[in-house]
A and B are shown apart, each in its own frame.
Chain A
Amino acid sequence: MAKAVSIQIDGIEVQAEEGQNLVDAIRGAGVFIPSLCYYEHIQPPLGTCRVCTVLVNGKPTASCTATVKPGMKVVTQTKELEDVRKGMVEMLFAEGNHFCPACEKSGDCDLQGLGYRLGVTATRFPHLFVNRLIDYRPERMVIDHNRCIRCRRCVEEVHTDAGKAVFSFVNRGKDTEVAIDYKAETELTEAQALQAMHLCPVGAILVRGKSLARPVGERKYDQPGQGWEKEEGAIEVPAPKPGAPKKVVATTSLAGCFGCHMSLLDIDEELLDVVELVDFNKSPITDVKAFEGRCDVGIIEGGCCNSENVEVLRAFREHCDILIGVGECAIWGGLPAMRNFIPIEECLLEAYGRTTELEDSKVVIPKHEDLPELLDRVYGCQEIVRMDYFIPGCPPDARHIWKVLKHALFGQPYALTHEEFKYD
C-alpha cells in the first residue's frame, strides 16, 4: 500500500497516495477536474488532450501526467485556468466537425459531456472545416475522422491477439490523424472491436450495427452530472408596470430549418405570458417583414449561407439592442455547414448539373437579381456581426430559450439544468 502524504489543493491540505495520478488525487479530494484522454491503466499517461491543466507548484501542468509528491501545491480553480481548460474543449470542437444531432455517440460522448459541464455555448475559435474522411473500409468498424480528438487511447490499447497494433497516428502537424490497419482489424474479435468503440471518448470508432445501443434519456450525459446546478424553481415573470411600453422582440430564420422557431413556440402556455409582455416586430410569427423601429431583442435562427442572410443579419444587428443566436446553425453553421467541405462548384453541379434523363439538357444554375447569391460556405452568425448570447441545441430546449429571453428582457438571473443544456 502506497504511503499517504499530504498535498495542497487550492490551498487546502489533503491526504493522497504518494505516486498516485494527480487527476485521481484531485478527484479524490472532491474537486472537479475535466479529462478526456486520461485512461487509468495506460502508462505512461497519454497527456494528449490537455484539458486537465492545473498549476503544480506554480507551473502549468497536465494533471494526468503528474503524480502525487509530498508537499506539492496544486491550484485547480482560478478564473484563468478555468478559461484555459474551457479553451481546450472549444479548440477540439473547432478542429473537428461535430454534428452532434447526427452522431451515434451523442449523449454518451465525453467531449460533448465536457462541453455541457463547462458551459461551452460557442467556441471562441473559428471552425476549421477541414474535409475529413469517414473510413468505411474496415470490415467491422467505421472510423469517422470528423469526430476523432486524437486522444491516442485506441493507438495504445487496441491490439490483436498476436500483439499487433490496430491503430496508429499518421502524418504530422495539423494533418495528424489516427489510421487503422485494415488487416489487423479483421483479426479483432467482436469483443475487442466493441472494446475499441467503448474506449473511444467520442464517436470516432463505430462498430457496424452496434452503435445505437442506448435510447435517448438513458445515455451517459442525459442525466445531470457531478456539480450541475439544479433548477432553482420557476422564475416569476414580473407583471408589466401599468403604462410601461411593451418590450419589442424580432425573430428571423436564416440558414436554418425553422426547428428553433418550433421550439420557441413550444413554450406552451407561457407563450401567452410572452404575448402579454412583448410585441413581435419582424418575425415569421407575425409576418412583419421590415423593421418598424428599434427592438429590444432579436432572435436569430440559422447561420448565413447566402447574401440575403448576411443583409438580414446586419439589419438585425442595426435595429436590435440584444441579439440572441438560437441553435447550432446560428452558432457555427450547424447541419447546413456540412457543405463547407465541398467546393461550391461541386455543390451546384450536383444539384443542377446532373441529369438522369436521356436527352441533353442545359445546366441552368438559378441566378437572378431577386435571388440571393450563395456564399462560399455557411458562416456562423458571429462571423458576420457581434452576437450577445447563444443558446445551443438542435433545436434548443424551449425552457432554455425562455429563460434566456426573460433574462435578456428583464435582466433576471436564471439557472440552467443539465437536461436543458444540449447540443442535440
Chain B
Amino acid sequence: MQPATDLPDRRTLLNDLWAIQLEKRHISDQGIKTLAARYQISEVEIEGVVSFYHFFHRQPTGQYTIYVNNSVTAVHSGMGAVISAFEEATGARIGQTDPTGTFGLYETSCIGLCDLEPACLINFQPFTHLTPQKVKALVWQLRRGVPVEQLANPIPQHLRYQLPPDRAVLLRPFVPGETLKPLLQLDPEEVLSTLEASGLRGMGGAFFPVGKKWRLCREQPGNEKYILCNADEGEPGTFKDRMLLQYLPGLVIEGMIHAAYATGAAEGWIYLRAEYRWLLPELEAAVAAYYDRGWLGAQIPAKTPFRFDIHIQLGAGAYVCGEETAMMNSLEGLRGEPRVRTYFPVERGYRQKPTVVNNVETFAAAARVLEVGAERFAALGTPQMKGTRLLSIAGDCERPGIYEIEWGTRLAEVLDWAGAKSTLAVQISGPSGQCIDPNYGDSCFDWDDLRCGGAVTIFNTQRDLLQILRNFSNFFAEESCGVCTPCRAGNFIFTRKLDKLAKGLGRADDYVEIQNWSNIMRQTSRCGLGRAATHALLTAMEHFPGYFSRYFTPNGVAGAQPFDLEAAVSDYRETVNKTLGTTKTN
C-alpha cells in the first residue's frame, strides 16, 4: 500500500505507461513484460496499475481515441445523439474501435467542459458544443488527415460574473511576479501569519485553514518536504481550476512558490488530470517562464533566498486521485488508492515526507492574499468564510461559465445572474454535494449553508431527478477505488436500488432503507468518496419528498413486494420462441 523503500523508485511508471499508451494506442502484454522487467516487479503489479486508470487500455484504442463526456450536463445537452453520430460516422461502437482500428469510441466521466457540452476529447484535444452534424464533419476531416490539434476548439474563459475591482480577489488584472514582491520583505514566518490572519481556507472541498496547514508542515522536522498542487478537478460540473490553469497559470505557480517559502519545501508537483492534457504545453511553458525569470530554481529572490522546483505529473483517469493521499500514491507510481489515515499528509505525505496539498484555486487565492494583504481579504465574505470563491456554473441556464462571488452571496442572486429559468433543482458541489430545491428557503454560500466546492449545476423542470441521481450513482460505482467494502459494494448496491426504483418497483420502505444504507456507508468508508456518495440522493429525498413517491408501487396483496412477474418470465418466453424449430447441437 505504501511503498517499501527497498523497491526501485516507481515514480516514472505512469509516464512510461503513457508513452506506451500514446504510441501503441494500448498497453500490450509485451509492454507489461518490459515494464515489469524494468522496475523489477511482478507483471500483475503493472497490470494492477494499468487497470486502475481508465485512460490506460489493454486493447487497442484506435489511431483516434474519442472520449465522450457522460456527466449529467452532457446527457442533458444531447450526448446520446452525439454518441450515435460518432458511431455512425466512425463505424465504432461505444466502448470499442471500428474494424479498421482507426477510431476508438469511449464514454468517460466529466472532462471539465460542462459549460460547453456536449463535449469530447479526441486524442486528448477538446471538442465542444458538439452536434450530430458537427460530428459528421469532424470525422470526415479526420479521415482526410487533418491534424487533431488543428481541429480542436479554442476554450473560452467564460467569465460571467466579476466582482467590482475593490472586491475582486482572483479575477483581477495579473502581472507576473507581482505577488512575489512582498517576499523580499517577509520571513517565512510572516508569510504564515499573513495567511493565518487572512482566514483563507482550502478550496478543494475540505476547507482546512491554509495558514495552519502550511505551519504544520513547516514545524515538521527534516529538509525533504513537498508542495502538491491538486489539479485533478474530477468532481463533475467543476471547471474553475481548468480556467485558472489556462488563463492564470502564473498565479497558481506563485501560490506554490509562497507555500515553498513558508514551509521550506524545495520540490513541488502539479498533478494535472489527464482530461486536461491539452493544457500541458501551455502549463509547461508557464513554468519554464518562471525559471527564466529566476522565480523558480536554485535562488529565488526573497528576504532569505530559497530553492524551489516545480514538476508536472499527468494523471491517467481516476476521479479518486483528487483525494490527496490517493494522489500521492499515484505520484509514486502506484494504484491511486487513498491511504489509511494513520498520518496527516503534513506529517507523512508524498514519499512519506511532510507534504502540503492544496487545490489550484487555493494557491491562486494565497498568492492574492500576499498581494492585496490579509486585511483586505479578511474584510470580504462572512465571519466563517473569508474572501471569495470561483463557481463553475453549468446546466440549464443562459450563461454557463465562471463566476467569482463573495462568500455570503445568496443562491437566488447567483441563479438570476446565470439566467436560470424554471429551475427544479440545483446540485451544489457536484455529485458528492447537495441536491437542493432553490425555492426552498433562502440559501446562501456560507460555512453552514452552501459550503460549495465550486460546482453549481442547474436542472430545470424538464429534467428527471431520478435519472440524474442514477447518473451520479453510476459515477461513484465506477470511480470508487474499490479498496474498502462500503464504497466498493455499497455504491454498486445503490445502483441496483435506483434501477429498481426507476422500474417502478420501489416501496415507501425504500426511504428508510436508503437512509440506513447511506448511514452505514458514511460511517465506515475510508475516504470522502464513499462518505459523500449518497449525499445527493439523501438531500434530494429530503427536498423533494413528493417526487419519489411516484416511483413507489402500492403494496398489492398484503405483504407482497413489488415484483414484475411478466418481466421476470420474458427471457424464458423469448428463448422458447427463438429456439422453436431449431436443431440441437453437439
Contact = CB atoms under 8 A, between A and B. Distances in A.
A62 to B, nearest CB: 7
A88 B486 contact: yes
Contact of A349 (B482, B573, B579): B579
B480 A172 contact: yes
B198 interface: no
- Among A150, A169, A179, A307, max chain B CB count under 10 A is at A169
B52 interface: yes
Contacts of B576: 348, 365, 367
Contact of A84 (B318, B335, B489, B519): B519
B563 interface: yes
A91 B492 CA distance: 10
Interface string B341-358: 110000000000000000
Given A176-B483, A176-B488, A181-B42, A362 B583 contact: yes
- Among B495, B573, B574, B585, max chain A CB count under 10 A is at B585
B1 interface: yes
A50 B583 contact: no
B526 A47 contact: yes
Given A150-B482, A373-B572, A181 B586 contact: no
Interface stretch (A211-219, A377-385, A392-400): A377-385
Contacts of B175: none
A360 interface: yes
A384 B560 CA distance: 6
A355 B582 CA distance: 13
A314 B565 CA distance: 12
Contacts of B400: none
Contacts of B570: 376
A156 B565 CA distance: 47
Contacts of B523: 53, 60, 81, 84
A345 B571 contact: yes
B484 interface: yes
A197 interface: no
Contact of A361 (B48, B490, B583): B583
A385 B558 CA distance: 9
Interface string A313-332: 01001100001000000000
B557 A181 contact: no
Nearest to B582: A363
Nearest to A59: B523
Interface stretch (A122-130, A266-274, A277-285): A122-130
A176 B525 CA distance: 16
Contacts of A357: 586
A59 B517 CA distance: 18
B44 A152 contact: no
A317 B569 contact: no
Nearest to B579: A363
B573 A174 contact: no
Contact of A174 (B51, B337, B492): B492
A184 interface: yes
- Among B6, B47, B484, B522, max chain A CB count under 10 A is at B484
Given A164-B41, A365-B576, A374-B572, A383 B563 contact: yes
Given A53-B524, A314-B560, A343-B571, A150 B586 contact: no
Interface in B532-586: 557-561, 563, 565, 567-576, 578-586
Contacts of B586: 354-357
B491 interface: yes
- Among A50, A174, A176, A367, max chain B CB count under 10 A is at A174
A47 B484 contact: yes
A65 interface: yes
B178 interface: no
A353 B340 contact: no
A171 interface: yes
A49 B320 CA distance: 19
B43 interface: yes
Interface in A118-154: 124-126, 128, 149-150, 152
B572 A375 contact: yes
A195 to B, nearest CB: 17
B493 interface: yes
- Among A67, A172, A361, A365, max chain B CB count under 10 A is at A172
Interface in A162-193: 163-176, 179-181, 183-184
A44 B1 contact: yes
A355 B485 CA distance: 44
Interface string B38-55: 001111110110011010
Q: Which 9 A-B pairs have the closest CB atoms?
A: A176-B482, A181-B44, A168-B48, A95-B489, A174-B492, A355-B584, A60-B523, A50-B524, A47-B340
Interface of A: 44-51, 53, 60, 62, 65, 67, 80-81, 83-84, 87-88, 91-92, 94-95, 124-126, 128, 149-150, 152, 156, 163-176, 179-181, 183-184, 307, 310, 314, 317-318, 323, 343-345, 348-349, 352-357, 360-363, 365, 367, 373-376, 379, 382-386
26 contacts: A48-B483, A62-B524, A62-B526, A65-B342, A84-B523, A91-B489, A95-B492, A169-B483, A172-B320, A172-B480, A174-B492, A174-B495, A176-B481, A176-B488, A184-B44, A314-B557, A318-B558, A343-B571, A345-B574, A360-B583, A365-B575, A373-B572, A373-B573, A376-B568, A382-B561, A385-B559
Given A44-B342, A174-B491, 4 more contacts: A44-B1, A91-B520, A318-B557, A373-B569
